[in-house]
Structure 1
Amino acid sequence: MNTLMWRIPLVLVTAAALGACGSVGTKQKAPVAAEVAQVSAAAQAAEHARQAAVRAQPQWSFQGRVAISKGKNGGNGRIDWQQQAQDYRISLAAPVTRQSWQLSGGPGQPARLDGLEGGPRAGDDAGLVLLQATGWEIPVAQLPDWVRGLSAQDAVAPDHLGFDAEGRPRVLRQQGWQVDYLDWYPAEAGRPSLPRRIEAVNGDAKVRLIIDEWGMGTP
């Protein structure tokens, strides 16, 4: 086995075992809304308005907890995602070891992964850079849309998009991934409703997110 490939997941697993990373899903969960066969016209209109409001904000961020697994390998940590249009900076941290990694990139520049032993890694495909360096399979290109409760625009059309009774996405299948929206923040103070808890699965690859805080627009 390539030692470098599994270095980050093993560090995060150790941190999780010590109980300081805050395992995703350990707290009491809100009941998960069911996918419904039919959505009311009012709920459809509300969702169209939500999507328009979300897409109108090119600058956004979130902080939360992430659990990543690929087969038998994986772990938990903190995540901080900063997005400005198509430019992104994603920070992952294991609090016990105080190690952190940053993935950044955008149009016209390669994806760059910093914090690795032996120096940074870079490439045109952010997901491939992560996979080769860490063994994690994360849909980096699609997550900016998926994490906000949107189907990915720069991808093939979804195979399935199901909604809950309020018209919000409940199950999205796109690009080989199934994204389940398990909990939502209500709209407040001019901010549209946004996901609180998400699970994305593709074969033996799984990404689970609990979003503790959203930031929308210019600070």
Structure 2
Amino acid sequence: MKKHLLALLLVTATTTTSFAALTFDSDVPANIQSQMVEDLAFMAQIEGSGQTPFHKEIYTAVDGKAYKNFFETRIFSVGLDSCGGGAAVACVQPFFDPNKMWLTENFIKFSHPQVARSMVVYHEARHSESKNGNWMHANCPRPFLGADGKDMVSIWTGAKLEGQPACDSTYKGSYGSSTIMLKNISKYCSNCNEKVKMDADIYAMDQLNRISKPAVKQSMLADFAN
């Protein structure tokens, strides 16, 4: 029993410190620093029973090691910034430092599930890819209406999205890739509880609405059906 307990403690300690190389500016609140480290540790312990083709293309596997490698090879530090103001939640400023993620007050003041916070940081990690033009966003349509005929708004802040650079035209961009990640976690994570899977699915289907090209959205839905 003691050996099993020791092993559990060692695994927990290793997971918690697995992103120790990530640095935070001094103005990032201590509780947000701790929260992000815990969120990344959560991602690093995920185990999966399968994946869709698009997920394999981007992340290689529904697996903590794969997610850990994806993030830590892209984001090295975290700071606070307005990111241009408005409804921005976080950003990467590639011409300043493509490997630094900036959080805004909107990230700090709004409360969302752990897997949704992970969605944000992996979204920004995708923006660090200078070799891919940092996956710049497309402008959302005008008008930008949901299936219910109502204005599409940010699930994070409630801000209207029409005309804003808050959509993607490809499944490989930040919205597309984070949607694919969440949908695969909801379908294939074998050590996630039902609450995590439900949250992942809710936020994935919301983010799918950020894909502005119908053909791309349909290809993603087909991918999710695998």
Whether these two folds match at TM > 0.5 is: no
Per the normalisation by structure 1, the TM-score is 0.26
Greater strand share, structure number: 1
Does 1 or 2 have the higher relative contact order (CA < 8 Å, sep 6+)?
1
More helix by share: 2
